[in-house]
Amino acid sequence: MNPIFLAVIAIAFIILVIGIVITLGERGEVEQRLESFGGAERGAPEEAGPAKRVSPLGEAFNRALAGRSFAARLSTQLARADLKLTVGEYLALLVIAILAGGGIGYVTSGQSPIFAILGAVAGYIVPGIYMGAMQSRRLNRFNDQLGDTINLLVNGLRSGYSILQAMEAVARELPPPVSHEFDRVIKEVQLGLTMEQALQNMLRRVKSDDLDLVVTAINVQREVGGNLAEILEVISHTIRERVRIKGEIRVLTAQGMLTGYVISGLPIAITLLLYLLNRQYISRLWTSGTCGWIMIAAGLILIVSGFLIIQKIVRIEI
């Protein structure tokens, strides 16, 4: 059977499995929030939610990982990416991706164990890359909306609202992800958590330095008093300027970032293309002895180091 056809079937199977796992992983919003962010552990009351549909493989992982520190860290990472998966479901998906990647590499390479290992490694890396990309995308959107959020909070406070009422206006008027996060804060306070705990939960879900300033200002004002509207207005001006400067830097460094991706991906793409067009020619690189493997290792080290150096140059912290 044609290896390309088998690869297409395998990819379709992976997509189907991912859809099934995500569908089985859907839960009630309140239940998910309390489990993921520690509300249930602190004794917060729960609300009735929709009937929970469970994934047997994901639930087995959840029971095995109960109380593990890395499971808590992974749960935080999933929350930051806004992926509706438990830790067990994510690990089950990771195992499936590893097996599927190894199978694709094994079939498309003519039953080569080396490419099976490379495919398994790719299956292990890709879910993490996707989760990191979703985290970055969500964080950037949140930071872009934070200036308007603070302005709305300031206007609400000056019109006589309490801080919780102003947050309700933010949750009602602004688009996601800001509206979802502030809506969670409101619901957690209504469920019995203190304002400080709810804000710290939001800060754990959204790892933003700008949000940290806002949360610190609100917590300090609740402890010692003061004009919160004026403090938030100053913070809003600082955040807007930072967002503007970041946008300018992003434009100026876009070519350098694209160059890093192209230079790093081009050798790998050419190697795969040569393998598909002339397998006997390129396979001498790893069948001719130790020298070929040394060349492969050196090439990979140079590619990774060059990519990291370029990223270090073009990423400017503000």
- CATH number of residue 190's parent domain: 1.20.81
The reply to whether 225 and 240 lie within a common domain is yes
The predicted model gives 191-214 an average pLDDT of 91
| Residue where one domain finishes, among candidates 247, 276, 298 | 247
Which pLDDT band, with edges at 50, 70 and 90, does 21 fall under? low
| Residue where one domain finishes, among candidates 247, 278, 293 | 247
The reply to whether 237 and 264 lie within a common domain is no
The reply to whether 212 and 234 lie within a common domain is yes
Residue pair 122/32 in contact (Cβ under 8 Å)? The answer is no
66-75, 125-134, 155-164: the lowest-pLDDT one: 66-75
Identify the domain containing residue 171 by its residue range.
Answer: 140-247
The reply to whether 149 and 238 lie within a common domain is yes
H-type helices in the chain, by residue range? 3-24, 29-37, 56-64, 69-81, 87-108, 113-158, 163-173, 178-190, 195-205, 209-224, 228-277, 279-282, 284-287, 290-314
269 assigned to some structural domain? yes
The reply to whether 166 and 226 lie within a common domain is yes
The count of structural domains within the chain is 2
pLDDT at 8: 55
The reply to whether 169 and 184 lie within a common domain is yes
Which pLDDT band, with edges at 50, 70 and 90, does 137 fall under? very high
The predicted model gives 142-154 an average pLDDT of 90
The reply to whether 241 and 271 lie within a common domain is no
User: Residue for token digits 């493997």?
Assistant: 293
Which of 16-20, 28-32, 188-192, 225-229 holds the top average pLDDT? 188-192
The reply to whether 243 and 257 lie within a common domain is no
The predicted model gives 112-126 an average pLDDT of 84
pLDDT at 184: 93
243 assigned to some structural domain? yes
pLDDT at 181: 93
CA 47/CA 180 separation, integer angstroms: 18
* pLDDT digit string, tens, across residues 254-301: 888 888 899 899 998 998 888 888 888 888 887 877 888 888 889 999
Residue pair 204/37 in contact (Cβ under 8 Å)? The answer is yes
The reply to whether 169 and 265 lie within a common domain is no
Q: Nearest CA to 163 among 120, 206, 195, 200? A: 195
234 assigned to some structural domain? yes
pLDDT higher for 239 or 27? 239
Q: Classify residue 277 as exposed, middle or buried by CB count within 10 Å of its CB (0-12, 13-18, 19+).
A: exposed
The pTM score is 0.70
| Residue where one domain finishes, among candidates 231, 247, 263 | 247
111 assigned to some structural domain? no
Is the pLDDT at 33 greater than 50? The verdict is no
* pLDDT digit string, tens, across residues 299-314: 999 999 999 998 888 8
Is the pLDDT at 222 greater than 60? The verdict is yes
pLDDT at 188: 93
26 assigned to some structural domain? no
The reply to whether 237 and 260 lie within a common domain is no
